């Protein structure tokens, strides 16, 4: 009992420390990438204090953090105090709780701890391996995070904050549906809601879900961008329109919590993309062949290699997030809603239908043709992607009429130009 | 030693009285006393409940139960609707915690996803849009506060009595089936695939009920769309129109 508690505490410490440090340094990486895209130098000055050693700017995150914590904190008089104070805590809680079910490796080798400690060996590298409904838990915690944003906007008692909160609530609720549809396809293929089972299924078969369900991957990626409110989906805090969105009135450490939470959302989204679609810790030739759940054959090199591969994939996805930020302009709000309801949800449903049919009849198709049914599934998956894409391009459901409206009265200050 | 039956009757009466004082009536006052009465009554209810397997489970249960009930009471007694919604959310989280405590993982998480994650956020959305300024006084008082208090506390008392089982005659078996034995529990509720079992049950034995519920929701959705479209077509007969026919027009 005591040993298990210590095990859980050690894992919590590892994940919390790792994730918080990572989000601090990812801010630096993001600024470097922004500088690279825009042909600037980026932050490269802050190194070791009181010396001239610059260390390529690696001291920047620490300086930023200290500055945000020590800066004077202004609480406006017009805010709704309880909600204003509650909001950053809820946002941060919603962002950090997801990591309870996200694995950051597979398992440790057996037999490193004495029998008398009564640990459930092999030790799984996830905080809460007991939770059998990890995938729904992720959705539930994502739902909690919406509260923080809405409360922050309402509690700030400021119209820009409020607009940001309203937009954010509408966006997050809408994109939860495609997110769920993207997850459902994977859950259907795996037959389990456990994240480690989803990785194990991909490792055992050798077919990653991105190959099996490319359409599902696309839907999930777009929805994950929207849930993390990254560009091009950062409408809740569109600076040009809303000052700072729901965190306009926040400063000091509360602002830091809100900003860190956004990075945590992105890290969690990257982990989920890797777990659900990119094979988790699996890579062909390096970490397969040693079957996972039993963990009998997992040796130290394999265990460490799996963690490294997983984190490398996550970092690659995060870099994709960051480059995407400088590649697309922000959507308009009606475009955002149309993408969710008229494009992403039908795509998700199409993917779900195809996956369900292939799970049910794949064996028979494979037996009839003599080709592995997973090849068929990949082929049909890509064919569906092309067909659905073409149908969307032809039907163009997100087209809007942007021509000027003649039926509205012309404003007086334009009357001269109009005539 | 007091007879537990009298204890429960006393607790129910006290709770009803306290609840009536707590509800947001037109003549505010005595709310602190109401809160004290309700707290005493809840203590009396809790005192009669049987203990759980170990003290950790007991502690977790009582904390979660207190959070759930207090948050639920705050939901109906706060005047600001936004705060009511937040308290309701906390109450739902407490309920989910209680479900998790007995091992019903899927039910717990689904409660959070459906109620806290979707329905309540929509409520909050509407509340915030509907009353930004000047809340009318009739929106902030409880109508029929006495009846509401009596009804809610009667339900609470009856349920507690039924669960604690104090009103049985001697020799009579409990009205509820005995809690499942450990092996059965592990086969059903605590099984790693209990979600799949639940799904098979829902879409096998209870398929028609699920379908009927789905159709009901669809009807409500279509109805909402019809109401919106009807209102718009009625208002828009001479309303704004896009210059669809004439091609791009110049000013």
Task: Kindly list the residues from chain A whose CB atom is less than 8 angstroms away from the CB atom of residue B121.
Answer: 143, 146-147, 150, 169, 173
The predicted-structure confidence for A43-91, as pLDDT tens digits, reads as follows 888 777 777 777 777 888 888 888 888 887 888 888 888 888 888 888 8
Residues A148 and A269 both lie in one domain: yes
Q: What's the pLDDT score for residue A217?
A: 92
In a domain, A133, yes or no: yes
CB contact under 8 A, A83 and B243: no
Q: Check residues A412 and B139 and name the one with the higher pLDDT.
A: A412
Q: Check residues B121 and A322 and name the one with the higher pLDDT.
A: A322
CB contact under 8 A, A403 and B248: yes
In a domain, A178, yes or no: yes
Least confident of A189-193, A287-291, B138-142: A287-291
Question: Structural domain of residue A194, as residue ranges?
Answer: 73-110+123-292+302-398
- The rounded distance, in Å, linking the Cα atoms of B130 and B134 is 11
Q: B251 CB near a chain A CB, below 8 Å?
A: yes
Residues A188 and A239 both lie in one domain: yes
Residues A167 and A313 both lie in one domain: yes
Confidence of residue A232 (pLDDT cuts 50, 70, 90): confident
The domain limits of chain B are 4-172
- Overall pTM > 0.90: no
Least confident of B11-25, B91-105, B171-185: B171-185
> Do A353 and A183 meet the contact criterion of CB atoms below 8 Å apart?
no
The predicted-structure confidence for B59-118, as pLDDT tens digits, reads as follows 888 889 889 988 988 888 877 778 888 888 899 999 999 888 887 888 888 888 888 877
- The rounded distance, in Å, linking the Cα atoms of A233 and A224 is 10
CB pairs under 8 A between A and B: 91
Distances (CA, A) of B15 to A85, A174, B3, B77: 32, 42, 19, 14
In a domain, A172, yes or no: yes
Name the CA dihedral angle for A268, A271, A273, A274, rounded to a multiple of 10 degrees: 180
> Do A48 and A232 meet the contact criterion of CB atoms below 8 Å apart?
no
Tell me which residue of A258, A256, A314, A290 sits closest to A104, measured CA to CA: A314
Taking only Cα atoms into account, the Rg of chain A, rounded to an integer number of angstroms, comes to: 24
Query: Could you count the other beta carbons within 10 Å of the beta carbon of residue A144?
Result: 22
C-alpha torsion sign, points A98, A104, A107, A112 = negative
Residues A147 and A53 both lie in one domain: no
Q: What's the pLDDT score for residue B245?
A: 44
Q: B109 CB near a chain A CB, below 8 Å?
A: yes
In a domain, A199, yes or no: yes
- The rounded distance, in Å, linking the Cα atoms of A401 and A408 is 15
Residues A77 and A61 both lie in one domain: no
For residues A141-156, give the mean pLDDT.
83
Chain B residue at shortest CA distance from A168:
B125
Q: How many domains does chain A have?
A: 2
- The rounded distance, in Å, linking the Cα atoms of A183 and B115 is 20
Nearest CA-CA distance, residue A291 and chain B, Å: 20
Nearest CA-CA distance, residue B75 and chain A, Å: 15
CB contact under 8 A, A403 and B86: no
The predicted-structure confidence for B117-135, as pLDDT tens digits, reads as follows 778 887 887 777 776 555 6
- The rounded distance, in Å, linking the Cα atoms of A267 and A78 is 34
CA angle, residues B148, B151, B157, in degrees to nearest 5: 135
Place of tokens 């990257």: A270
The top-scoring range by mean pLDDT among A120-129, A188-197, B52-61 is A188-197
CB contact under 8 A, B125 and A169: yes
The top-scoring range by mean pLDDT among A52-56, A206-210, B22-26 is A206-210
Distances (CA, A) of A55 to A52, A256, A302, B226: 9, 24, 33, 64
In a domain, A282, yes or no: yes
Confidence of residue B250 (pLDDT cuts 50, 70, 90): very low
Using a CB–CB cut-off of 8 Å, the residues of A that contact B are 82-83, 86, 131-133, 136-137, 139-140, 142-144, 146-147, 150-151, 154, 162, 165-166, 169-170, 173, 176, 191-194, 401, 403-408, 410, 417-418
Task: Out of B109, B121, B129, name the one closest to residue A133 (CB).
Answer: B109
Chain B residue at shortest CA distance from A94:
B117
Distances (CA, A) of A117 to A6, A9, B74: 11, 15, 45
Place of tokens 């810790």: A281
- The rounded distance, in Å, linking the Cα atoms of B35 and A63 is 48
Q: Check residues B233 and A345 and name the one with the higher pLDDT.
A: A345
Between helix A60-70 and helix A252-277 the angle, nearest 10°, is 140
Average pLDDT, chain A: 83
In a domain, A351, yes or no: yes
CB contact under 8 A, B117 and A139: yes
Q: B106 CB near a chain A CB, below 8 Å?
A: yes
The predicted-structure confidence for A1-40, as pLDDT tens digits, reads as follows 777 788 888 889 989 898 888 888 888 888 889 899 888 8
Structure tokens at B4: 């537990």
C-alpha torsion sign, points B46, B162, B197, B213 = negative
Residues A244 and A328 both lie in one domain: yes
Place of tokens 């966006």: A171
CB contact under 8 A, B109 and A136: yes
Whether ipTM tops 0.90, in short, is no
Q: What's the pLDDT score for residue B248?
A: 44
Residues A229 and A161 both lie in one domain: yes
Chain A residue at shortest CA distance from B131:
A154
3-state secondary structure labels for all residues of A217-263: HHHHHHHHHHHCCCCCCCHHHCHHHHCCHHHCCCCHHHHHHHHHHHH
Residues A327 and A346 both lie in one domain: yes
Residues A147 and A48 both lie in one domain: no
- The rounded distance, in Å, linking the Cα atoms of B58 and B160 is 17
Task: Kindly list the residues from chain A whose CB atom is less than 8 angstroms away from the CB atom of residue B89.
Answer: 147
- Cis-peptide, bond into residue A134, ω within 30° of zero: no
For residues B37-48, give the mean pLDDT.
77
Helical residues (DSSP H) of chain B, grouped into ranges = 4-22, 31-47, 55-77, 81-101, 105-111, 120-130, 145-164, 182-188, 194-204, 207-235
Residues A92 and A208 both lie in one domain: yes
> Do A351 and A189 meet the contact criterion of CB atoms below 8 Å apart?
no
Residues A78 and A223 both lie in one domain: yes
- The rounded distance, in Å, linking the Cα atoms of A321 and A327 is 10
Residues in chain B: 251
Fold of B4-172: 1.20.120
CB contact under 8 A, A144 and B116: yes
Count of alpha carbons within 13 angstroms of residue B131, beta-carbon side = 15
Residues in chain A: 419
Nearest CA-CA distance, residue B86 and chain A, Å: 9
- The rounded distance, in Å, linking the Cα atoms of B170 and B189 is 32
List the beta bridge partners of residue A107.
A124
For residues A230-241, give the mean pLDDT.
75
- The rounded distance, in Å, linking the Cα atoms of A418 and A413 is 10
Confidence of residue A211 (pLDDT cuts 50, 70, 90): confident
Confidence of residue B189 (pLDDT cuts 50, 70, 90): low
- The rounded distance, in Å, linking the Cα atoms of A8 and A14 is 10
């Amino acid at each position: 009992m005591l040993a298990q508690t210590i095990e859980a505490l050690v894992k919590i410490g590892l994940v919390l420390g790792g994730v918080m440090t990572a989000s601090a340094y990812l801010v630096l990486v993001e600024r470097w990438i922004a500088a690279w895209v825009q042909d600037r130098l980026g932050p490269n000055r802050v190194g070791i204090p009181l010396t001239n050693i610059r260390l390529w700017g690696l001291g920047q995150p620490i300086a930023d953090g200290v500055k945000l914590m020590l800066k004077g904190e202004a609480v406006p008089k017009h805010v709704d105090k309880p909600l204003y104070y509650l909001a950053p805590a809820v946002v941060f809680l919603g962002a950090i709780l997801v990591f309870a079910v996200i694995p950051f490796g597979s398992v440790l080798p057996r037999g490193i701890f004495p029998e008398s400690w009564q640990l459930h060996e092999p030790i799984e590298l996830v905080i809460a391996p007991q939770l059998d409904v990890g995938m729904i838990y992720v959705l539930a915690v994502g739902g909690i995070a919406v509260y923080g944003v809405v409360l922050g906007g309402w509690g700030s008692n400021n119209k820009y904050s409020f607009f940001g909160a309203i937009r954010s609530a509408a966006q997050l609720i809408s994109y939860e549906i495609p997110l769920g549809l993207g997850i459902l396809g994977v859950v259907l293929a795996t037959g389990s809601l456990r994240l480690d089972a989803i990785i194990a299924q991909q490792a055992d078969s050798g077919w990653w879900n991105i190959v099996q369900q490319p359409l599902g991957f696309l839907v999930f990626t777009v929805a994950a961008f929207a849930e993390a409110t990254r560009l091009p989906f950062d409408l809740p805090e569109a600076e040009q329109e809303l000052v700072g969105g729901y965190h306009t009135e926040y400063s000091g450490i509360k602002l830091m919590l809100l900003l860190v939470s956004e990075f945590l959302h992105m890290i969690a989204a990257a982990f989920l993309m890797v777990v659900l679609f990119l094979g988790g810790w699996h890579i062909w030739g390096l970490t397969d062949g040693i079957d996972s759940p039993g963990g009998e054959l997992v040796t130290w090199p394999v265990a460490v290699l799996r963690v490294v591969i997983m984190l490398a994939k996550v970092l690659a996805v995060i870099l994709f997030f960051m480059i995407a930020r400088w590649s697309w302009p922000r959507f308009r709000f009606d475009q955002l809603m149309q993408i969710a309801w008229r494009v992403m949800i039908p795509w998700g449903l199409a993917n779900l239908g195809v996956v369900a049919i292939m799970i049910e009849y794949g064996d028979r198709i494979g037996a009839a043709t003599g080709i592995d049914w997973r090849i068929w599934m990949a082929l049909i998956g890509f064919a569906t992607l092309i067909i659905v894409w073409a149908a969307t391009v032809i039907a163009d459901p997100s087209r809007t009429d942007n021509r000027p409206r003649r039926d509205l009265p012309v404003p007086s200050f334009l009357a001269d130009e109009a005539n | 030693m007091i007879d537990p039956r009298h204890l429960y009757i006393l607790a129910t009466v006290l709770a009803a009285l306290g609840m009536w004082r707590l509800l947001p009536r037109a003549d505010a006052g005595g709310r602190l006393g109401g809160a004290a009465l309700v707290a005493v009554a809840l203590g009396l209810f809790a005192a009669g409940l049987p203990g759980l397997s170990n003290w950790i489970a007991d502690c977790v249960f009582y904390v979660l139960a207190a959070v759930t009930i207090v948050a639920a009471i705050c939901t109906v007694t706060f005047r600001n609707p936004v705060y009511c919604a937040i308290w309701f959310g906390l109450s739902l989280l407490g309920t989910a915690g209680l479900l998790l405590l007995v091992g019903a993982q899927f039910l717990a998480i689904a409660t959070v996803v459906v109620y806290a994650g979707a329905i309540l956020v929509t409520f909050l959305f509407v509340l915030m849009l509907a009353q930004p300024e000047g809340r009318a006084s009739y929106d902030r008082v409880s109508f029929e506060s006495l009846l509401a208090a009596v009804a809610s506390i009667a339900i609470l008392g009856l349920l507690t009595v039924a669960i604690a089982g104090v009103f049985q005659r001697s020799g009579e078996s409990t009205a509820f089936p005995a809690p499942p034995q450990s092996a059965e529990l592990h086969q059903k509720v605590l099984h790693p695939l209990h979600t799949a079992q639940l799904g098979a049950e829902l879409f096998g034995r209870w398929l028609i009920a699920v379908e009927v519920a789905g159709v009901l929701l669809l009807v409500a959705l279509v109805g909402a769309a019809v109401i919106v479209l009807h209102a718009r077509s009625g208002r828009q007969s001479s309303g704004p129109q896009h210059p669809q026919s004439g091609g791009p027009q110049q000013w």
